[in-house]
């Protein structure tokens, strides 16, 4: 992972939420919210909350008595998230998942959607999640499967790479889709001290009204944008067009519908 992989600034939070939210994140947000609802938590910590897509799903799914602390290290993403939610049940707070500013055994559940891939020290973040959990608590998080099982991202990555053959941007394969080995992930979580760790592969469909929606979201609403602009300050529109063309060639000019796949990991000290 490089430094640009964690830069979500400028218009990225807005475009991320508008285009990638419905396309990639909302289907899994509902899945995580349903899993959490079944555990009946009273106090939930969300780490790497991003633009609040999971937070909003939790508010819809969990009883009104449940409180949520939603954290992220990136202030622009957190600011955007807070603007989308008006609820006294949510406390927004900037925090590093690797050094959580909360006492031991503070939460019934810790949840993280597609954030752990960005943590420089994942085992440390897992130990922190376990530290702030009550003895009966659960840590649930999701990671993307490999790039080839996520069609829009795979097509966009290939299209952009063709524009820069001497130095192809590698963000999508390197970071969001670079932590997909379930056995390795489970081993790291167990190494952090959790007694029970399971992983489930979850496949969904990713839908958008046109081929440009995923192209804009991936090329302009993610840190892939930083790599594109570093290689050509005026080539962002060209890269977006190339990604849209590749997606259109695969799925047609109307509404698009592609495969997405992720792993959902559940960890606790409660025997399975």
CATH class of the domain whose range is 3-268 = alpha beta
What is the three-class DSSP state of 264? strand
Tens of pLDDT along the chain (272 residues) come to 666 656 676 888 899 999 999 999 999 999 999 999 999 999 999 999 999 999 999 999 999 999 999 999 999 989 999 998 888 999 999 999 999 999 999 999 999 999 999 999 999 999 999 999 999 999 999 999 999 999 999 999 999 999 999 999 999 999 999 999 999 999 999 999 999 999 999 999 999 999 999 999 999 999 999 999 999 989 999 999 999 999 999 999 899 999 999 999 999 998 76
- Is 228 in contact with 167 (CB distance < 8 Å)? no
Residue 8 has what pLDDT? Answer: 72
Domain positions in the chain: 3-268
**Residues near 86 by beta carbon (within 8 Å), at least 6 away in sequence:** none
Map 57-106 to HEC letters: HHHHHCCCCCEEEEEECCHHHHHHHHHHCCCCCEEEEECCCCCCCCCCCC
Q: How many residues does the chain have?
A: 272
- β-strand partners of 268: 138, 196
């Amino acid at each position: 992972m490089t430094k640009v992989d964690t830069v979500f600034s400028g218009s990225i939070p807005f475009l991320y939420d508008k285009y990638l939210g419905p396309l990639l994140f909302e289907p899994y947000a509902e899945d995580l919210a349903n899993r959490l609802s079944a555990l009946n938590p009273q106090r939930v910590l969300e780490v790497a909350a991003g633009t609040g897509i999971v937070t909003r799903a939790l508010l819809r799914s969990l009883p009104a008595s449940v409180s949520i602390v939603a954290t992220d290290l990136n202030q622009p993403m957190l600011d955007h998230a807070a603007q989308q939610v008006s609820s006294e049940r949510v406390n927004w707070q900037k925090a590093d998942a690797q050094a959580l500013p909360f006492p031991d055994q503070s939460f019934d559940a810790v949840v993280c959607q597609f954030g752990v891939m960005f943590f420089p020290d994942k085992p440390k973040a897992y130990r922190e999640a376990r530290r702030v959990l009550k003895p009966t608590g659960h840590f649930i998080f999701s990671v993307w499967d490999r790039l080839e099982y996520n069609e829009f991202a795979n097509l966009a990555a290939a299209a952009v790479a063709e524009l820069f053959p001497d130095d192809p941007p590698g963000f999508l394969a390197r970071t969001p889709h670079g932590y997909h080995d379930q056995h390795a992930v489970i081993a790291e979580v167990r190494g952090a001290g959790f007694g029970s760790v399971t992983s489930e592969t979850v496949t969904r469909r990713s839908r958008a009204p046109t081929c440009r929606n995923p192209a804009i979201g991936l090329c302009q609403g993610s840190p892939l944008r930083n790599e594109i602009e570093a290689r050509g300050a005026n080539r962002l529109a060209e890269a977006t067009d190339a990604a849209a063309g590749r997606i259109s060639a695969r799925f047609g000019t109307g509404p698009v519908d592609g495969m997405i796949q992720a792993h959902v990991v559940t960890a606790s000290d409660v025997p399975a």
